[in-house]
Structure 1
Amino acid sequence: MSRSVRVRFAPSPTGPLHIGGVRTALFNYLFAKKQGGTFVLRIEDTDQTRYVPGAEDYIIEALNWLNIPFDEGPGKEGGFGPYRQSERKASYKQYADQLIQAGHAYYAFDTPEALTELRATAEANKETFSYGWANRDGLDNSLNMSDEDLHARLESGIPYVIRFKTPADETLTLQDIIRGEVKVHTSTLDDKVLFKSDGMPTYHLANIVDDHLMEITHVIRGEEWLPSLALHYLLYRSMGWDAPEFAHLPLIMKPVGKGKLSKRDGDKMGFPVFPLQWNPQEGDSSAGYREDGYLPEAVVNMLAFLGWNPGTEQEIFSLEELVEAFDLSRVNKAGAKFDPEKTKWFQTHYIQQRSDAELAAEFGHLLATKNISSRLNMPAIVGALKERITFTEDLWTLGHYFFVTPDSYDTKAAKKAFKEDTPELMKKVVELLNDVDDFTAENTSKAVKTWIQSLELGFGKVVMPLRLSLVGSLQGPDVFDIMEILGKTESVRRVENAIRNMV
């Protein structure tokens, strides 16, 4: 009987969550849900020197905002906790000891100063120092001392680390769901530290132990961990455990296509690389997709296409549709180029799918921050502007004139629209508008257009100055829709103001 699928997203709480990490979380979530499995969040905080307060809360808030919450993790116990590695500290040493007893690891007493000197000597000879099969027999470790000497050192409290003893001459044939067969010769590997002198495991040991104890079936992680695949495979083998299946996701590349996407790229080109805004206690804050006005659906849809494709022409996917369509075999090996404009394209689609009432409520909050209150029909304003917006903020940019009466007029537009006879025409428009009882777009349009046709005037000769009077420029939706939203009193007042400016 096959095991139930269990995947994990295991970030380090060292700062804000880069969208590359978010993409990893999303692919883990999609895979788990497609298989009816469990999505686990594990906080890998073994490196306490890099721990940043607030980072864990940020990670959880980001996943919840994107609607890809974890099934098990901090605060959601599932029988495999604790879910912070720092709280599992006591459990790791026994596994390091187990490796030593089986001959797969050893104690190393080399001081930092001695290792620094070895690296400097190698560099002077234009070589690279690597602690491993080629030189470990000549270094200060338990492979080169008697049991009595080792016991004495351990009893005296001399600092040590525990290193993995990499096989000296073996070709490993490994499998990756995305990359297929991966061959690695162990001669290219060094003897990684598994347990540090401060009593904490390194990532390599803790990650293997936790994945085993949490019964993780598939490890879906970024390409940057591919060089660690051989070591992790060897650790599983040395422990006598079945390894999970591995899948290494492609890098997210800069918009120009070369190099990994970084915060600097976002700052330079004006787009976020983090899901939420990050405000550290010290240092620069970083922009976030949420605070920049993006919808979570748009961010998820964008991230899904960074390295994966459904094999069809479909680009717009709900989260449920992504779960149904997702397949790791359709994830690309090559890096995925980030496209800020494509992200905006997704955003435009999703914001325009929102109801006028929903957007009106959000727009109302935005107006409140500008100390503007209004009795105008907000859903009607949204409906008139929605086809041209990408963000809620655009409703203000495109429709501020609904709330602020123009006190000046676009110079170029005024020169085009305001002619010598325009004041008299606009006075007649005021009369027509005052005579409309039911002040709808349909009724005002009929009254004004019938009059224009009766005089055989050009449509623009009247409607251009009318629009300019109402808006202050020649932009905006249908001029009669604008008047219906403004109402008769305000519409007439604005036209009369414009007449005074024309004279």
Structure 2
Amino acid sequence: MSQTVRVRFAPSPTGPLHIGGVRTALFNYLFAKKQNGTFVLRIEDTDQNRYVEGAEDYIIESLNWCNIPFDEGPGKEGDFGPYRQSERKHLYKQYADELIAKGKAYYAFDTAEELDSHRKDHEANGKTFIYNWHNREKGRLVNSLVLSEEETQAKLDAGEDYVIRFLSPQDETLHLKDIIRGDIKIDTNILDDKVLFKSDGMPTYHLANIVDDHLMEITHVIRGEEWLPSLALHYQLYQAFGWEAPEFAHLPLILKPTGKGKLSKRDGDKLGFPVFPLAYKDHKTETISRGYREDGYFPEAVVNFLALLGWNPGTEQEIFSLEELINAFDLNKVNKSGARFDPDKTKWFNHHYMQEQRDDELATDFKTIQPELEDIDVNYVSMVVALIKERANFVSDFWELSHFFFETPTDLDEKAVKKAWKEDSAEIMTKVISLIDTISDYSVENLQTEIKGWITKNEIGFGKVMMPLRLALVGALKGPDVFDIMFMIGKDETKRRIDNLINTLS
């Protein structure tokens, strides 16, 4: 086994990558990078019935978008390829044969109908059918443990369908170790004899997985909790081959926002948040599933919130750059219990990373999604973004927060009108227009000095001027500083808007 840390992320290309899968990839990446190790992507595509065209590209694009690229894998060939299991299928038969030769596995010729009949018999008696030590040699099941060598060979020569099953031991206790869950004891009497290989020449997940991890010199298997039930078999397979097993770590589930049950696409659809990194189109149903990228999340925000789903750095720190995550990451600080997904917290992370983005880059993104800005100078848009981004979680929020910088308001908020517009408002605002006319230095600072000085000198309440002024500029009592808005839209447009308000409400 290699002394250099080698980990792998091994998804099946059966559809879009769930964020639980992205988190598994992320934890593998962080662990590898902290140890100066290698992060491998292996595509487990032996189940051709479930293979989905384009899913592999989607997985790779997702990892690249999250800035957690793999070191070895499809298209980045290292010394341990190929990295698609379908291109490795010639390897597995010899290992299945080796287990039979060692007496660690056996041929089983039972048909699907026969096994189904056994299951129904057991259910009728209130029992569960398990193919293992208590029935494999009783004569009702057809396998090489009860058949003679000649009978077994005759069936193989005749081309009868078969599977190769693992011979799980009887009356033993397995002592397994998991980095996250500690010591685990398993009674082998409850284990079934899992199928490892089929007569169509294809291995099952269990055999292919172990053989590939061994041949690729994987030192640590970091995977989801759903694989915990397979740990006993995988551990025994390493023993059966006489190979050194990697260290195992099973990550906790990502739970629904309620904290009960595993997070699913349905939860996202119901509550209005994505569960996939990128949008995904199902070509069979033509449905499009939302993605974090398309919903306006920054990859840094996605990586940051995923890292804290199940891992606790042991400090109060919540904002981590990728480099900080690598330095701080420790599998011993991953929790055993499930991590509740909080959609509001994901927005909080995105809000933080939005403030760190350059205004000109955000302005370019804003122009891309807002047709009204097509002909507007990006530098002006960038100045607007600087004034409003603090109130936004996404670039898609910008228009609602800033439309009045680009177009004259046509509607007035009714509640704002009642609050801001009094009997003497028209007279006061007419005087404000005259005042603005006299201001030659139309800077934010000077506007503030001149108008506030005028209000104080004439002993007018600030609200009697500032509220109708804001209403004129914005159409509502919201938005950034009034003097910033006046400066941005210019003197003529400011006067025009105040005049419009007077004419509308008088």
| Same topology, TM > 0.5 | yes
* Matching residue of 1:374: 376
Helix, strand or coil at the partner of 2:88: helix
Q: What is the deviation of 1:489?
A: 2.1
Letter in 1 for 2:58: Y
Trace 1:54-65 onto structure 2 (pairs within 5 A): 54-65=54-65
Helix, strand or coil at the partner of 2:107: strand
* Matching residue of 1:253: 255
Helix, strand or coil at the partner of 2:49: helix
* % same residue: 67
Q: What is the deviation of 1:371?
A: 6.2
Q: Distance in 2 between matches of 1:46 and 1:408?
A: 61
Q: What is the deviation of 1:420?
A: 2.2
Q: What is the deviation of 1:194?
A: 0.4
Q: What is the deviation of 1:269?
A: 1.4
Letter in 2 for 1:499: I
Q: Distance in 1 between matches of 2:134 and 2:411?
A: 81
For residues 430-485 of structure 1, the C-alpha deviation after alignment (integer angstroms, 9 at most, x for no partner) is: 22222222321112222221211121001110111111111110100110101111
Q: Distance in 1 between matches of 2:25 and 2:13?
A: 14
Structure 2: tracts of 5 or more residues without a match: none
Q: Distance in 2 between matches of 1:93 and 1:49?
A: 20
* Matching residue of 1:228: 230
Select the residue among 403, 410, 414 that pairs with 1:411: 414
Q: Distance in 1 between matches of 2:86 and 2:2?
A: 31
* Matching residue of 1:18: 18
* Matching residue of 1:265: 267
Q: Distance in 2 between matches of 1:15 and 1:434?
A: 63
Letter in 2 for 1:346: F
Letter in 2 for 1:338: F
Q: Distance in 2 between matches of 1:491 and 1:197?
A: 81
Q: Distance in 2 between matches of 1:2 and 1:101?
A: 27
Q: What is the deviation of 1:2?
A: 6.7
Q: Structure 1 residues 427-436 or 46-55, which shifts more? A: 427-436
Helix, strand or coil at the partner of 2:175: strand
Letter in 1 for 2:279: Q
* Matching residue of 2:47: 47
Q: Distance in 2 between matches of 1:266 and 1:126?
A: 38
* Matching residue of 1:96: 96
* Matching residue of 2:368: 365
Helix, strand or coil at the partner of 2:165: strand
Q: Tell me how large the CA RMSD over aligned residues is.
A: 1.3
Q: Distance in 2 between matches of 1:19 and 1:407?
A: 43
Q: What is the deviation of 1:378?
A: 1.6
Trace 1:21-420 onto structure 2 (pairs within 5 A): 21-137=21-137, 138=139, 139-283=141-285, 284-368=287-371, 370=372, 372-375=374-377, 377-420=380-423
Select the residue among 443, 455, 459 that pairs with 2:458: 455
Q: Are the counterparts in 2 of residues 34 and 324 from structure 1 also a CA contact under 8 Å?
A: yes
Q: Distance in 1 between matches of 2:499 and 2:71?
A: 63
Q: Are the counterparts in 2 of residues 385 and 399 from structure 1 also a CA contact under 8 Å?
A: yes
Q: Distance in 2 between matches of 1:282 and 1:418?
A: 58
Q: Are the counterparts in 1 of residues 108 and 142 from structure 2 also a CA contact under 8 Å?
A: yes
Q: Distance in 2 between matches of 1:165 and 1:29?
A: 35
Letter in 2 for 1:500: N
Q: What is the deviation of 1:143?
A: 1.2
Q: What is the deviation of 1:130?
A: 0.8
Helix, strand or coil at the partner of 1:50: coil
TM-score by length of 2: 0.97
Q: How many residues align?
A: 502
Q: Are the counterparts in 2 of residues 367 and 373 from structure 1 also a CA contact under 8 Å?
A: no
Helix, strand or coil at the partner of 1:7: strand
Q: Distance in 2 between matches of 1:408 and 1:2?
A: 69
Q: Distance in 2 between matches of 1:399 and 1:191?
A: 65
Letter in 2 for 1:32: A
Letter in 1 for 2:152: L
Q: Are the counterparts in 2 of residues 469 and 495 from structure 1 also a CA contact under 8 Å?
A: yes
Distance 1:305 1:172, change over 3 A: same
Trace 1:459-470 onto structure 2 (pairs within 5 A): 459-470=462-473
Q: What is the deviation of 1:372?
A: 4.4
Letter in 1 for 2:220: H
Q: What is the deviation of 1:101?
A: 0.8
